[in-house]
């Protein structure tokens, strides 16, 4: 089971996620987000990670200048593209840095899940997240919203995928049971407030996901 904790901002929460058994740590580089960090901050935070935990850089329609700054400071294992990046842009980023690329796809209906199939052969992984209603569509993710997991049954792509969208310690086991996923991600589900991670909630989420494996 792959377990990703996204939007970490402090050494204590980075260490808590690693100690709990998270396999992936996400750093958010989307400035409007309450979870955002700079490339320089991410470099320092990553020093608190043990070997083997993968770093994920979340960006939203980032230009090459931002990607270069992230690369120079963090050398992430994965770039997570959470904007409107096309398959061609995914391929371009993958070729430029020589690392894996995860493409986020926001889902409300089965046809949204099918749209992810366009990234076959481009992305290394799909992140299925909740599509927020327009009145809440301020951030690309981390909104704490669930979607109907059964919509993912429409997906017929070849690209592996990770499940996000309102997951927390209370519902992650059911999400795994319904979808059959072997990779889960949370941001708001391990927080006391937007951008404020709780080490205890991190540990409970990771434990619940691993127990459901």
pLDDT in tens, 50-69: 999 999 999 999 999 999 99
* pLDDT higher than 90, residue 150: yes
Per-residue pLDDT of 69-88, as tens digits, reads 999 999 999 999 999 999 99
Name the β-bridge partners of 26.
6, 56
Q: What pLDDT score does 135 carry?
A: 52
Banded pLDDT at 142 (limits 50, 70, 90): low
CB 20: neighbour CB atoms within 10 A? 20
Over residues 12-41, mean pLDDT: 97
How would you class 213 by CB atoms within 10 Å of its CB: exposed for 0-12, middle for 13-18, buried for 19 or more?
A: exposed
Asked whether the predicted pLDDT for residue 104 surpasses 60, the reply is yes
Dist CA 128 CA 137 (whole Å): 16
Of 13, 3, 38, 1, the closest CA to residue 192 belongs to 13
Reported as a single tens digit per residue, the pLDDT across 155-202 is 999 999 999 999 999 999 999 999 999 999 999 999 999 999 999 999
- Rounded to two decimals, the pTM is 0.94
Report the sign of the C-alpha dihedral through residues 141, 145, 146, 151, in that order.
Answer: negative
Q: Does residue 162 sit in helix, strand or coil?
A: strand
Tallying the residues shown for the chain, one arrives at 213
User: Rounded to whole angstroms, what are the CA distances from 6 to 25, 182, 202?
Assistant: 6, 17, 10
Determine the pLDDT at residue 145: 77
Percent over 70 (pLDDT), the chain: 94
Average pLDDT, the chain: 94
pLDDT of residue 132: 80
Confidence of residue 136 (pLDDT cuts 50, 70, 90): low
Task: Tell whether the torsion through CA atoms of 72, 74, 79 and 81 is positive or negative.
Answer: negative
pLDDT higher than threshold 90 for residue 134? no
Q: Using the structure block, give the residue that is written with the tokens 């981390």.
A: 142
Residue 47, Cβ neighbours under 10 Å: how many? 8
């Amino acid at each position: 089971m792959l377990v990703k904790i996204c939007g970490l901002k402090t050494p204590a929460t980075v260490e808590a996620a690693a100690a709990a058994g998270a396999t992936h740590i996400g750093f958010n580089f989307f400035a409007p987000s309450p979870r955002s960090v700079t490339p320089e901050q991410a470099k320092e935070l990553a020093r608190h990670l043990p070997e083997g935990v993968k770093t994920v850089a979340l960006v939203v329609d980032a230009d090459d200048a931002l990607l270069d700054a992230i690369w120079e400071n963090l050398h992430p294992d994965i770039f997570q593209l959470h904007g409107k990046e096309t398959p061609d842009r995914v391929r371009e980023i993958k070729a430029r840095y020589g690392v894996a690329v995860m493409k986020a796809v926001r889902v409300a209906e089965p046809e949204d899940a099918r749209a992810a199939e366009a990234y076959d052969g481009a992305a290394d992984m799909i992140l299925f997240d909740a599509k927020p209603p327009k009145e809440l569509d301020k951030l690309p993710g981390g909104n704490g919203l669930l979607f109907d997991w059964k919509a993912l049954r429409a997906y017929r792509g070849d690209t592996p995928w990770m499940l996000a969208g309102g997951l927390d310690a209370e519902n992650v086991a059911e999400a795994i049971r319904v979808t059959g996923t072997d990779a889960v991600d949370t941001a708001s589900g391990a927080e006391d407030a937007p951008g404020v991670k709780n080490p205890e909630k991190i540990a409970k989420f990771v434990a619940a996901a691993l127990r459901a494996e």
